[in-house]
Amino acid sequence: MAKHTGRGISAIEYPTGMNQNGDPSQAWIKIKPDGRVDVFSGTSDIGNGSKTIQSQIVAETLGVPYDWITYDNSNTDSSPVCTGTFASRATFVAGKAVEKAALSAKEKLLEIAAKELEIAPEDLEVVDGEVIAKGAPQKKIGVPDVAAAATWVHGELITGTGAHLNPYAAIVDPETGRVDSPPHAAISYAACAAEVEVDDETGEVRVEHMWQCFDVGRAINPTLVEGQIQGGALMGLGLAVLESCYPYYPSVEHRGTEFGSYFVPGIEGLPKIDTIIIENPSALGPYGAKGISEMANNPQPPAIASAVFDAVGVWVTELPITPERVLRALEKKDEGPRRDGKWVIFDEDISVNTVAAEGSRFRFPVGA
Amino acid sequence: MKLTVNGIGHEVESHGLQSLLYVLREELGITSPKAGCVQGGCGACTVLVDGEPRRSCLTPLAALNGAAITTLEGLGTPESLSVVQAAFHEQYGSQCGFCTPGMIVATTALLERTKKPTRHDIEQALAGHYCRCTGYVKIVASVEAAAGGAKK
Amino acid sequence: MVLADVTLVVPTSVDEALAEFGDGKGVTVVAGGTVVMADLAAGRLRPKKALLLSRAGLDGITRKGGKVTIGAMTPVAALEDGDEPLATAARHLGDVEIRAQATVGGNICSEASAEAPRGDLQAALIVLGATVRSGGKGGERTEPLEDFLAKGAGRLVLDVSYDDAPRQTGYAAAWRPHAHHYTILAVAAARQNGDLRVAATGLGPHAVRLTSVEEGGDAAVEARDDALASAWYRQHLLPRLVGRALADLEEA
Amino acid sequence: MKAVGARLPRYDGVAHVTGKSVFVDDVRIPGTLCVKALRSPLHHAGIVSLDTSKAEKMPGVHAVVTHKDVPLNVYGHLSALGIPADEPLLAEDDVRWLGQPIAAVAAEDEDTALAAVEAIKLDLEERPAVFDMRIAGDPDAPQIHHWGNWYPHFEAEMDVRQIRKGDIDAAFDAADVIVSGVYRPAAIEQAPLETQTGLAVPEADGRITVYSCTQALYFSMGVVAAHLQVPLNRLKFVGGTVGGGFGGKVDTAAEAICALLALKGGRPCKWRWTREEEFLCSSTRAAWHIEIADAVTKDGWILGRKTLTLHDAGAYARFSPYGVTKHSFHHTGAYSIPNLHFDGYVVFTNRSPTSAMRGYGVTSVSFATEVHMSRIAKELGIDPFEIRLKNANRIADTSPNGIAYTDPSTVPTIQAIAEAIGHELPAEYRAMTPDPREGDLLPEHLAAQVGEVDH
Q: Chains B and D: how many Cβ contacts under 8 Å?
A: 97
Considering only CB atoms, which chain A residues are within 8 Å of B95?
Answer: 47-49, 227, 231
Minimal Cα–Cα distance from B85 to chain A, Å? Answer: 17
Omega before residue A182 within 30° of 0, cis: no
Asked whether A81 and A25 are in contact (CB, 8 A), the reply is: yes
Average pLDDT over residues A264-287: 96
Considering only CB atoms, which chain D residues are within 8 Å of A315?
Answer: 181, 371, 375
Contact assignment for A182 to D403 by CB distance below 8 Å:
yes
Q: What is the ipTM of this complex?
A: 0.97
| Domain segments of chain A as ranges | 3-16+184-328, 25-164
Q: Would residue D43 be called left, alpha or beta, if left means φ above 0 and alpha means ψ between -120 and 50 degrees?
A: alpha
Burial class of residue A359 (count of CB atoms within 10 Å of its CB; 0-12, 13-18, 19+): exposed
Q: Say what angle helices B83-90 and B100-113 make with each other, to 10 degrees.
A: 130
Which numeric CATH code is attached to C1-52? 3.30.43
A272-278 and A205-215 strand pairing: parallel
Minimal Cα–Cα distance from B94 to chain D, Å? Answer: 7
Which chain B residue is nearest to residue C54, measuring alpha carbons?
Answer: B63
Sign, Cα dihedral of A92, A98, A99, A101 = positive
Write down which chains contact chain C via at least 3 CB pairs under 8 A. A, B, D
Residue A253 annotated to the active site:
no
Predicted confidence at residue B151, as pLDDT, reads 43
Among candidates A129, A161, A128, A134, which has minimal Cα distance to A145? A129
3-state helix, strand, coil in chain C (%, to 5): 30, 25, 45
Contact assignment for B78 to D15 by CB distance below 8 Å:
yes
Query: Are the folds of A3-16+184-328 and A25-164 the same?
Result: yes
- CATH architecture of residue range(s) B2-74: Roll (3.10)
Omega before residue D71 within 30° of 0, cis: no
Write down which chains contact chain A via at least 3 CB pairs under 8 A. B, C, D
Omega before residue D142 within 30° of 0, cis: no
Contact assignment for B19 to C41 by CB distance below 8 Å:
yes
Contacts of C215 (CB under 8 A, 6+ apart): none
Q: Say what angle helices A300-312 and D363-380 make with each other, to 10 degrees.
A: 30
- Bridge partner residues of C186 (DSSP): C173, C201
Q: Would residue A254 be called left, alpha or beta, if left means φ above 0 and alpha means ψ between -120 and 50 degrees?
A: left
- Is the pLDDT at D451 greater than 60, yes or no? yes
Residue from the list A44, A218, A343 with its beta carbon closest to the beta carbon of D216: A44
Q: Chains B and C: how many Cβ contacts under 8 Å?
A: 96
Minimal Cα–Cα distance from B98 to chain D, Å? Answer: 5
Minimal Cα–Cα distance from A24 to chain D, Å? Answer: 11
| Domain segments of chain B as ranges | 2-74, 83-148
Considering only CB atoms, which chain B residues are within 8 Å of D243?
Answer: 34, 96-98
Q: Where are the beta strands (DSSP E) in chain A?
A: 3-16, 25-31, 37-41, 69-72, 124-127, 130-133, 136-142, 159-164, 171-173, 178-179, 186-199, 205-215, 272-278, 338-340, 343-345
20-49 in chain B: CB under 8 A from chain D: 25, 29, 31-32, 34-39, 41-42, 44
C114 near D CB under 8 A: no
Contact assignment for D407 to A84 by CB distance below 8 Å:
no
Average pLDDT over residues A2-21: 97
Is the domain defined by A3-16+184-328 classed in CATH 3.20.20.105? no
The residue from A268, A294, A335, A358 that is catalytic is: A294
59-98 in chain C: CB under 8 A from chain B: 94-98
- SS3 state at A251: coil
Considering only CB atoms, which chain C residues are within 8 Å of D111?
Answer: 1-4
CA angle C50, C52, C56 (to 5 degrees): 135
| Most D CBs within 10 Å, among A165, A319, A353, A363, to test the D interface | A319
Which numeric CATH code is attached to A25-164? 3.30.365.10
CA angle D354, D357, D361 (to 5 degrees): 80
- Work out the mean pLDDT of chain D and round it to a whole number: 97
Report all structural domains of chain D as residue ranges with CATH numbers, in order of start: 23-126+190-280 (3.90.1170.50), 155-188+284-447 (3.30.365.10)
What are the angstrom distances between the C-alpha of B46 and each of B51, B108, B120, C39? 11, 11, 20, 18
Predicted confidence at residue D455, as pLDDT, reads 54
Residue from the list D26, D193, D241 with its beta carbon closest to the beta carbon of B132: D193
Give dist(CA C82, CA C70) in Å, integer: 11
Average pLDDT over residues A168-194: 95
C42 near B CB under 8 A: yes
> Which CATH fold would you assign to the domain B83-148?
DNA polymerase; domain 1 (1.10.150)
Q: Would residue C244 be called left, alpha or beta, if left means φ above 0 and alpha means ψ between -120 and 50 degrees?
A: alpha
Contact assignment for C227 to A254 by CB distance below 8 Å:
yes
Q: What is the pLDDT of residues C113-153, one digit of tens each?
A: 999 999 999 999 999 999 999 999 999 999 999 999 999 87
Contact assignment for C43 to D276 by CB distance below 8 Å:
no
Burial class of residue C163 (count of CB atoms within 10 Å of its CB; 0-12, 13-18, 19+): middle
- Work out the mean pLDDT of chain C and round it to a whole number: 95
C195 near B CB under 8 A: no
Contacts of D21 (CB under 8 A, 6+ apart): B97, D12, D15, D241
Give the pLDDT band of residue D175 (cuts 50, 70, 90): very high
* pLDDT, mean of each 10-residue run, chain B (152 residues): 96 96 97 97 98 98 94 97 98 98 98 96 97 98 89 42
Residue from the list C33, C34, C96 with its beta carbon closest to the beta carbon of B125: C96
- SS3 state at C144: strand
Predicted confidence at residue D452, as pLDDT, reads 85
Burial D176-191 (b: 16+ CB within 10 A, else e): ebbbbbbbbbbbbbbb
- Bridge partner residues of A163 (DSSP): A26
Q: Edge-to-edge strand order for the sheet containing C141-144?
A: C61-64, C67-71, C156-163, C131-135, C141-144
Minimal Cα–Cα distance from A235 to chain B, Å? Answer: 7
Residue count of chain A, please give it: 368
Predicted confidence at residue C52, as pLDDT, reads 98
3-state helix, strand, coil in chain D (%, to 5): 30, 25, 45
Which chain B residue is nearest to residue A47, measuring alpha carbons?
Answer: B96
Asked whether D308 and D291 are in contact (CB, 8 A), the reply is: yes
Give dist(CA A301, CA D32) in Å, integer: 44
Give the pLDDT band of residue C5 (cuts 50, 70, 90): confident
- SS3 state at C209: strand
Contact assignment for B71 to D272 by CB distance below 8 Å:
no
D235-238 and C7-9 strand pairing: unpaired
C4 near D CB under 8 A: yes
Q: What is the pLDDT of residues C60-104, one digit of tens each?
A: 999 999 999 999 999 999 999 999 999 999 999 999 999 999 999
Q: What is the pLDDT of residues D214-246, one digit of tens each?
A: 999 999 999 999 999 999 999 999 999 999 999
Residue from the list D114, D274, D276 with its beta carbon closest to the beta carbon of C2: D114
Average pLDDT over residues C19-39: 96
- SS3 state at A15: strand
Considering only CB atoms, which chain D residues are within 8 Å of A223?
Answer: 7
Give dist(CA B60, CA C33) in Å, integer: 7
D161-165 and D339-348 strand pairing: antiparallel
Give the side-chain half-sphere CA count within 13 A for D113: 24
CA–centroid distance for B102 within its chain: 4
Give dist(CA D267, CA D108) in Å, integer: 10
Give dist(CA A117, CA A124) in Å, integer: 9
Contact assignment for D20 to B130 by CB distance below 8 Å:
no
- Is the pLDDT at A331 greater than 50, yes or no? yes
- CATH architecture of residue range(s) C59-251: 2-Layer Sandwich (3.30)
Contact assignment for A320 to D186 by CB distance below 8 Å:
yes
CA angle A225, A229, A235 (to 5 degrees): 140
Which chain C residue is nearest to residue D115, measuring alpha carbons?
Answer: C2
Helix (H) or strand (E) holding B146: helix B137-148
Give dist(CA B96, CA B130) in Å, integer: 12
Average pLDDT over residues A190-202: 98
Query: Which residues of D make CB contacts under 8 Å with B?
Result: 9-10, 12-23, 25-26, 28, 190-195, 241-246, 272, 274-275
C91 near A CB under 8 A: no
What are the angstrom distances between the C-alpha of B96 and each of A235, A293, D109? 15, 14, 29
Helix (H) or strand (E) holding D39: strand D33-39
Q: What is the DSSP string of D391-455?
A: HB--TT-B-TTSPBPSS--HHHHHHHHHHHTT-PPPHHHHT--SSPP-GGGS-HHHHTT------
End-to-end Cα distance, chain B:
40
CATH 3.30.465.10 in chain C, residue ranges = 59-251
How many Cβ atoms from other residues are within 10 Å of residue D391's Cβ?
25
Which chain B residue is nearest to residue D109, measuring alpha carbons?
Answer: B26
Contacts of A20 (CB under 8 A, 6+ apart): A168, A169, A170, A171, A179, A183, D325
